[in-house]
Structure 1
Amino acid sequence: MNGPSLPGPHLPGPIDPPARLLMGPGPVSAYPSVLRAMSAPLVGQYDPFMTASMTQTQQLYRQVWGTTNDATVLVDGTSRAGIEAAIVSLVRPGDRVLVPVFGRFGLLLAEIATRAMAEVHTIEVPWGQVFPVSTIEEAVRRVRPTLLALVQGDTSTTMNQPLDEVGALCARYGVLFYSDATASLGGNLFEADAWGLDAATAGLQKCLGGPSGSAPITLSPRAVDVLRSRQRIEAGIREPDDPDASDFVRSNYFDLGMILDYWGPRRLNHHTEATSMLYAARECARVLLAEGRDAVVERHRVAGAAMLAGVRGLGLQVFGDVAHKMHNVVAVEIPDGVPGEEVRAAMLADLGIEIGTSFGPLHGRVWRIGTMGYNAQQDAVLTTLAALEVVLRRFGCSVPPGGGVDAAADVYRGA
């Protein structure tokens, strides 16, 4: 009988990623303290330290979201896990869902709602624009949806959809209001209570400056009532042959009612919390609040303004309605005759800097350059602009010497 095999030279060594400056649309370089938090020792899921950390994380994210909602928790999974949990838990089969689409991620909301067996209605504006509230109101009057699902910041187009009047509109028509704030939370103003949100979800890997893998979510009391009504069959209050029995949540993992019971005072077992990701999410929120929520938004605003001025200082054009651009990402038109993917590859291979492309009609037409989280700071902005200038020259693009760095530095001097 053969004994256990011994390690050989074919086995890989310990993980050792190359040094990268992640200046794309996300993920971005994490705060060092977040990475340190993830290396902290594990404890049992009902250890007093663990449950206290969960409670602390809830308290921190209430401040991040701008809410007093008790139902403020994490969904274990990427930001898409949070999106799916919100939609499948709030939408019953046959419910009408209205999705205003202004980029790739509005299309994602519509797809997930369709999979939840909703009757999905969409309205669209050209990529690079946002919706006037009057257009959303006309669609709400026409469709009479149960849920309005609206992205705040869509990184595919870099646009930031104004939300401040939408909650009041939804309240007038009795519509639940959900927003995907994956790309925007932390780097752009978000006020869950003041704007009348019933549900909002995000991820850590953009302005919050952490890794992908945990999805903060907040739910209003009205949204919680909807979740609880869908738990009645599981609690035995309804019989399985009840005509309304088909409206129970079709996902076990993404059933927010069950997740809230796990995070609540009864700590009803649902899953084993991803401990290291909880540590990361807690630290992301702690870092943000230690600096100050408004200060972090302002830091992102200045970094975004500097990057915008810098790419223009290189003579490059910017895509979309800049008046509605997110603070934390800019879409740069690829100059005619310049091989966009080769430029990206050279930035990464030769200089260790990652910038992004985009989706759909913008794929190969723009580069997306992010300034978010730990990288929303002057040295990262200036380094990226200097590197872009060098690579553009290599590919025959005539750009003003130092034009990008000088223009960005002027923004910082004036901030």
Structure 2
Amino acid sequence: MQPLNLPPRLLMGPGPINCYPRVLNALSTQLVGQFDPAMTAVMDEVMALYRKVFKTHNQHTLLVDGTSRAGIEALLVSALEPGDKVLVPIFGRFGHLLAEICERAGARVETIITPWGSVFDAEQIEQAIVRHQPKVLAIVQGDTSTTMLQPLEDLGAICRQYDVLFYCDATASIGGNAFNTDAWQLDAVSVGLQKCLGGPSGSAPITLSERYVSHVRKRHHIEAGIRDKQYARPTGSRIQSNYFDVPMLLDYWSNERLNHHTEAAAMLFCARECAINLLEEGLEQVIARHQLAGGAMLAGIQAMELEIYGDIRHKMNNAVGVMIPAKLDGEAVRNELLTRFNIEIGTSFGPLKGKIWRIGTMGYNAREDAVLHTLQALETVLRRHQCAPKPGIGVDTALAHYDKARSL
């Protein structure tokens, strides 16, 4: 029953990451009642802040209390009725997750699959839409299982042409890579805090187009003559989840404040601070910082003659996959980094289990010292495991990458 005293890890894996200090401070904010005007004012502020984060004018921009998967499930379960068709392009582990959630909602799931380490072009997705005629296109932007970033900018127009709702999970990518909700004509987006936004897992910001909201509200018509919406029964197909019922969440976050659940106040305060931190630094500046840190890490890894996994043209700014040399025990290297240097890098799963390390440069950790410490420690451990890159080559190359960027 001692006070918590966790090791001072530097989290350089695919997420979660170390939080920005100001976000940690927000966790200790004292609580007020959930309908206190001070509390509802913060909720309104958070909605306005995340419209800027998502680059949208969507009125319906709010938080789902829960991890990023809670946001995914809320948006898919609320949109899909049993028997609806959904198209899921899969290029990594999290495409399979979207497909599973849709199946559990009773949807007829159609998938297209590209080899891990690659992404889809717009024509492949359009052809699949024409072939399957889905109600929803559900896709991941950045999949940390492969470190790949799926291009989205042409998909919205395709979805509008064929009257398909366009949903995206951007948890691993937003804040570190370009994301434009309105310009790309997205209908529903969900994210989490624990990647490039620099917060803890536990809150899922979402944004919804009027098109999406109109669709899900059709499932939530209230019987005539019942005045209290909280206790009314929908006349349409019931949304399978009460907690993840988007129309009820919208009513809770609206000026009506119809009680649905008790807002996770500490996570609300964290989400607020994540957004402020991002916007004060500047969206483009934060993306550029992730691009710089990710580029320095990539250059350092390549200088140590380690092979990069996947199509490097489509790599996320904030993560890199590294092929584990055949003669190495990848888990022994990770364990030594963790226990001797207090640095965590990621392994992988599925077809990549034991084949790659995943190294992240996200949020608070997308900074020069974190990159240099990680490269130096990795080089030291590799030498201890008889894999001997030229001493100092990784750090020297990363330093040169930073120096060149500063000179431009």
Tell me the equivalent position of 2:301. Answer: 311
Structure 2 counterpart of 1:170, one-letter code: C
Q: Secondary structure at the match of 2:204?
A: strand
- Given that 1:22 and 1:29 are in contact with CA atoms closer than 8 Å, whether structure 2 keeps it comes out as yes
Tell me the equivalent position of 1:391. Answer: 381
Tell me the equivalent position of 1:135. Answer: 124
Tell me the equivalent position of 1:34. Answer: 23
Q: 2:150 aligns with which of 158, 161, 168?
A: 161
Tell me the equivalent position of 1:103. Answer: 92
Tell me the equivalent position of 2:362. Answer: 372
Mapped pair 1:414 → 2:379:
no
Tell me the equivalent position of 2:250. Answer: 260
Q: C-alpha distance in 1, partners of 2:13/2:143?
A: 14
Structure 2 counterpart of 1:352, one-letter code: N
- Given that 2:345 and 2:359 are in contact with CA atoms closer than 8 Å, whether structure 1 keeps it comes out as yes
Any idea what the Cα deviations from partners look like across 1:191-240, whole Å, max 9, x if unmatched? 00000000000000000000000000000000000121111157778xxx
Q: Secondary structure at the match of 1:307?
A: helix
Tell me the equivalent position of 1:344. Answer: 334
Tell me the equivalent position of 1:231. Answer: 220
Q: What does residue range 317-328 of structure 1 map to in structure 2 within 5 Å? A: 317-328=307-318
Q: C-alpha distance in 2, partners of 1:35/1:24?
A: 20
Structure 1: gaps of 5 or more residues: 1-11, 238-243
Tell me the equivalent position of 1:18. Answer: 7
Q: C-alpha distance in 1, partners of 2:279/2:6?
A: 30
Moved more, 398-407 or 119-128: 398-407
Structure 1 counterpart of 2:41, one-letter code: A
- Given that 1:233 and 1:248 are in contact with CA atoms closer than 8 Å, whether structure 2 keeps it comes out as no
Mapped pair 1:66 → 2:59:
no
Distance 1:346 1:106, change over 3 A: same
Distance 1:411 1:74, change over 3 A: same
Q: C-alpha distance in 2, partners of 1:387/1:188?
A: 27
Q: C-alpha distance in 2, partners of 1:411/1:254?
A: 45
Q: What does residue range 161-200 of structure 1 map to in structure 2 within 5 Å? A: 161-200=150-189
- Given that 1:315 and 1:400 are in contact with CA atoms closer than 8 Å, whether structure 2 keeps it comes out as no
Any idea what the Cα deviations from partners look like across 1:353-409, whole Å, max 9, x if unmatched? 000001101110000000000000100000000000001111110111111101111
Q: 2:287 aligns with which of 283, 288, 297?
A: 297
- Given that 2:117 and 2:146 are in contact with CA atoms closer than 8 Å, whether structure 1 keeps it comes out as yes
- Given that 2:220 and 2:236 are in contact with CA atoms closer than 8 Å, whether structure 1 keeps it comes out as no
Q: C-alpha distance in 1, partners of 2:235/2:350?
A: 39
Q: C-alpha distance in 1, partners of 2:379/2:270?
A: 35
Cα drift, residue 13 of structure 1: 0.8
Q: C-alpha distance in 2, partners of 1:16/1:392?
A: 29
Q: C-alpha distance in 1, partners of 2:178/2:318?
A: 12
Any idea what the Cα deviations from partners look like across 1:23-64, whole Å, max 9, x if unmatched? 000000000000000111111101111100000000000000
Q: C-alpha distance in 1, partners of 2:224/2:331?
A: 54
Cα drift, residue 246 of structure 1: 6.3
Using the size of structure 2 for normalisation, the TM-score is 0.96
The two structures, once aligned, show a CA RMSD in angstroms of: 1.1
- Given that 1:152 and 1:162 are in contact with CA atoms closer than 8 Å, whether structure 2 keeps it comes out as yes
- Given that 2:290 and 2:366 are in contact with CA atoms closer than 8 Å, whether structure 1 keeps it comes out as yes
Tell me the equivalent position of 2:69. Answer: 80
Q: C-alpha distance in 2, partners of 1:361/1:408?
A: 30
Q: C-alpha distance in 1, partners of 2:95/2:354?
A: 20
Q: C-alpha distance in 1, partners of 2:254/2:223?
A: 18
Any idea what the Cα deviations from partners look like across 1:103-139, whole Å, max 9, x if unmatched? 0000000000000000000000000000010000000
Tell me the equivalent position of 2:240. Answer: 250
Tell me the equivalent position of 1:210. Answer: 199
- Given that 2:219 and 2:236 are in contact with CA atoms closer than 8 Å, whether structure 1 keeps it comes out as no
Structure 1 counterpart of 2:205, one-letter code: P
The alignment-based identity, stated in percent, is 61
Structure 2 counterpart of 1:330, one-letter code: V
Structure 2 counterpart of 1:26, one-letter code: G
Q: C-alpha distance in 1, partners of 2:125/2:323?
A: 29
Q: Secondary structure at the match of 2:88?
A: strand
Q: C-alpha distance in 2, partners of 1:236/1:145?
A: 35
Q: C-alpha distance in 1, partners of 2:136/2:98?
A: 11
Structure 2 counterpart of 1:286, one-letter code: I
Structure 1 counterpart of 2:387, one-letter code: C
- Given that 1:329 and 1:368 are in contact with CA atoms closer than 8 Å, whether structure 2 keeps it comes out as yes
- Given that 2:220 and 2:235 are in contact with CA atoms closer than 8 Å, whether structure 1 keeps it comes out as no
Structure 2: gaps of 5 or more residues: 227-233
Structure 2 counterpart of 1:376, one-letter code: A
Structure 2 counterpart of 1:147, one-letter code: V
Cα drift, residue 17 of structure 1: 1.3
Q: Secondary structure at the match of 1:123?
A: strand
Q: C-alpha distance in 2, partners of 1:305/1:236?
A: 61
Cα drift, residue 179 of structure 1: 0.3
Q: Secondary structure at the match of 1:230?
A: helix
Using the size of structure 1 for normalisation, the TM-score is 0.95
